[in-house]
């Protein structure tokens, strides 16, 4: 990125001054090396988002930001409906409510290592991964509508998981205001056989060791100690969410002129929050959110069963489940007044600080768990939301390492079999149905996750709690 366009406003914060059509400044988080390495398209997209009606505060990019569809991936923006604010399908993305769930196994690395291959095989068998994979479950339209309305709460009621899981999921595992009738028949058809599956791309199921603790208070509250083993699931709303995004992006593009929206980029297709189209999109997006929450709940249940066959004493309590690729109604101070806002987070994670009333009671003194996935074969992190994050970014943080090169470029540089063999020599077992998919997700195709989380901490977005190292990775 051209750094001459930016003004340094903090240790790891850079301001893009308002100019042209921008209604607010842009703010990009990252150390100089991270920001300079970002594509110029990221800056262009930050500026384009800053030009949308009703935006307040700033148009933000997290330290893992890279070029995306409309919004940068790692983009955060809040809109005030009382100022003509919009809802943008491009600001949520196609994989609606893609997110991360971490389970505490109660096991040590030595215990898991002794049965590593068997556990890897069992997880790969029980949790289908990859493009077009079908799951064990198939629903008719009536039951799928119940999933879209009930989310993880529906899954628990059907026996997938435990009632106590719900308190440890964002929004209690159920997005309010979901409207299954705002989801197309095509989207529902795509999803009927995909519940309980990981999908492809950067989605994964990992078994990880807690290698380092940074914040003892938060680690204790989260139930983490060095040497513990956790299981982490990263996936979203599968084909249904992608179709919801596709359907509404097309409709918003066609309707933009009628709403008087002069968009700088058609990929920023939007509708006024209070419009009929805006309300329908919100209902469909929330239904897709519930699809993702139910999907991770079901996969979590399958993971518990797989561990249980090999480690009957494993307890697999849920640590937390948090989404990115969402738009949530939240109240934040704007110009000294608590204001109802629609906060878009695309490839960004909500990071609520200590004493937020919506957090589980045990986590309130330390803040919300923020689950940060690395790339395949590299470390991941657990962070905690900070009190400063609300002022810095509407209580938002990064969501992962962030790509540093395209999938096509990765395919030119790596071969899947060689990556699997290399990681096996490091003690990491990889299971995947696609050698091409492994190559596309090569660790070298991503930014340095350590630099990303360091920037998040230095920027006051979240603080580091624990560093995790992979033992097993099931990859789509």
2 is written with which tokens?
């051209």
Residue with structure tokens 């290592």?
A: 113
Q: How far apart are CA 361 and CA 166, in angstroms?
A: 13
Buried-exposed string 181-210: b where 16+ CB fall within 10 A, e elsewhere? ebbbeebbebbbbbbbbbbbbbbbbbbbbb
| Residue with the two structure tokens 């077009």 | 132
Q: Which residues of 45-81 are buried (b: 16+ CB within 10 A; e: fewer)?
A: bbbbbbbbbbbbbbbbbbbbbbbbbbbbbbbbbbbbb
116-126 and 276-310 are packed helices; what angle lies between their axes, rounded to 10 degrees?
140
Number of alpha carbons in the 13 Å side-chain half-sphere of residue 92: 34
Catalytic residue among 301, 324, 332, 399: 399
* Under 8 Å between Cβ of 352 and 403: no
Question: The dihedral of CA 243, 131, 207, 383: what is its sign?
Answer: negative
Radius of gyration of the CA atoms of the chain, in A: 21
Residues comprising the chain, all counted? 476
* Cα four-point dihedral sign 461, 50, 267, 80: positive
Helices (H), 312-429: 389-393, 407-413, 416-425
Residue 342 and residue 138: Cα distance in Å, rounded? 34
Is 344 designated active site? no
Q: Give the pair of three-digit tokens for residue 357.
A: 């009333």
Rounded to whole angstroms, the Cα distance separating 71 from 441 reads: 22
Catalytic residues: 399
């Amino acid at each position: 990125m051209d750094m001459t366009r930016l003004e340094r406003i903090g240790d790891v914060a850079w301001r893009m001054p308002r100019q042209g059509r921008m209604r607010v400044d842009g703010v990009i988080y990252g150390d100089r090396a991270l920001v300079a390495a970002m594509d110029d398209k990221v800056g262009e997209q930050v500026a384009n988002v800053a030009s949308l009606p009703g935006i307040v505060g700033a148009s933000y990019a997290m330290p893992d930001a890279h070029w995306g569809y409309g919004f940068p991936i790692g983009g955060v923006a809040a809109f005030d409906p009382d100022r003509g604010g919009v809802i943008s399908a491009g600001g949520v993305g196609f994989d609606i409510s893609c997110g991360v769930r971490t389970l505490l196994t109660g096991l040590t690395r030595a215990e898991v290592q002794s049965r590593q291959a068997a556990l890897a095989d069992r997880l790969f068998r029980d949790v289908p991964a990859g493009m077009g994979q079908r799951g064990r479950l198939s629903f008719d339209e009536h039951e799928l509508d119940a999933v879209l309305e009930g989310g993880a709460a529906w899954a628990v009621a059907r026996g997938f998981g435990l009632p106590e899981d719900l308190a440890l999921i964002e929004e209690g595992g159920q997005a309010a205001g979901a409207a299954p009738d705002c989801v197309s028949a095509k989207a529902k058809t795509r999803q009927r056989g995909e519940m309980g599956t990981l999908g492809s791309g950067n989605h994964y199921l990992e078994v990880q060791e807690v290698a380092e603790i940074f914040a003892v208070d938060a680690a204790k509250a989260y139930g983490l100690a060095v040497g513990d083993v956790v299981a982490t699931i990263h996936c979203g709303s599968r084909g249904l969410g992608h179709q919801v995004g596709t359907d509404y992006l097309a409709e918003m593009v066609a309707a933009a002129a009628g709403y008087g929206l002069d968009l700088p980029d058609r990929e920023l297709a939007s509708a006024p929050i209070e419009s009929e189209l805006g309300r329908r999109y919100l209902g469909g997006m929330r239904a897709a959110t519930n699809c993702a929450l139910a999907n991770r709940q079901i996969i979590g249940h399958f993971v518990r069963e797989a561990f249980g066959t090999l480690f009957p004493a494993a307890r697999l309590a849920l640590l937390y489940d948090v989404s990115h690729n969402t738009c949530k109604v939240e109240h934040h101070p704007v110009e000294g007044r608590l204001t109802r806002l629609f906060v878009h987070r695309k490839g960004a994670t909500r990071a609520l600080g200590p004493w937020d009333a919506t957090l589980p009671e045990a986590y309130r003194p330390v803040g919300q768990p923020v689950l940060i996935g690395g790339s395949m074969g590299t470390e991941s992190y657990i962070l905690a939301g900070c009190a400063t994050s609300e002022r810095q970014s509407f209580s938002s943080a990064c969501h992962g390492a962030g790509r540093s090169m395209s999938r096509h470029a990765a395919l030119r540089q790596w071969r899947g079999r060689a990556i699997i063999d290399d990681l096996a020599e490091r003690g990491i077992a990889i299971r995947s149905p696609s050698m091409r998919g492994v190559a596309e997700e090569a660790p070298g195709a991503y930014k340095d996750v350590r630099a990303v989380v360091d920037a998040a901490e230095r920027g006051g977005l979240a603080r580091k709690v624990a560093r995790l190292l992979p033992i097993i990775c099931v990859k789509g």
